[in-house]
Every structure is written in structure tokens, then in C-alpha cells.
Amino acid sequence: MKPLVKRLAWLALFPPAAVGPSVSVAAPSLPELIRAYDADRSDTAGFYDLPWSAVRLDRLERLLAGWQARLEKLDFDALDPAGRVDWLLLENEVHRSLAQLARDMKPGWKFAGDQPALTP
């Protein structure tokens, strides 16, 4: 059996979650979270590259909602001052992106406003 197949079989039989609660994972620092958010956002936007695709908008909405929930789980009071600033900036970015996405999901928003109407 090839080494990769063995590893995949091993992971299928014993997934990392099966290790149990005795394994402790340190909470990532805010700069690490910011880099992870940036990577998630750019990877998702790059993969779903049609700007007003319903699939893209839905996927970005789920991604941003997940990041919002992840930020809410962090203990803000336990952060140092620099961490609090980073948390506020990242939370603001996620909130702004969700608001922009909600606007993008409205039907016909891109063509409303100051654009002159086309007449035959």
C-alpha cells in the first residue's frame, strides 16, 4: 500500500477528533486569526470568481457568518490592549463585509441609482 493511502486510511479510522479532550490546542493569537481570515476570504473570492453569482454570494455569506461566530466566542476581556484593537478591527471588517454582501444580494442593486435608463 502506498504511504499516502496508508495515511488516509489511518485518518479515516482514527480522525483527529477521536483523540479526545486530553489534547489541548492553544487559542490562536489575533494576528494569526487575521491572517486566517484574509486567507479564507481571498481563497473563497478567488474560487467563486463570478461577482454576482448566487453560489458565490451564499458561500461568502456562510464564510462571514462563521467568522462572526468565531469572533464572538473569543473572550474579549482576556485580550491584551493590542489584541482588543485587532479584535475590534477584524469584527468591524467582518460586519462591514456582511453589510456589503447583503447589499450585493438585493436584486438589481447594481443597475439602480445614477445610471441613465436605456431607452430604445
The model's pLDDT over 50-99, given as tens digits with 9 standing for 90+, comes to: 777 788 888 999 999 999 999 999 999 999 999 999 999 999 999 999 99
Q: Could you give the residue ranges of the DSSP H alpha helices within the chain?
A: 3-13, 30-47, 54-73, 81-105
Q: What is the pLDDT of residue 104?
A: 78
Residues 71/90, Cβ–Cβ less than 8 Å: yes
pTM over 0.85: no
| Closest-CA residue to 65 (of 46, 88, 28, 37) | 37
Maximal CA-CA distance, the chain? 71
Q: What is the pLDDT of residue 53?
A: 78
Top-confidence residue, 11 or 82:
82
Q: What is the pLDDT of residue 89?
A: 95
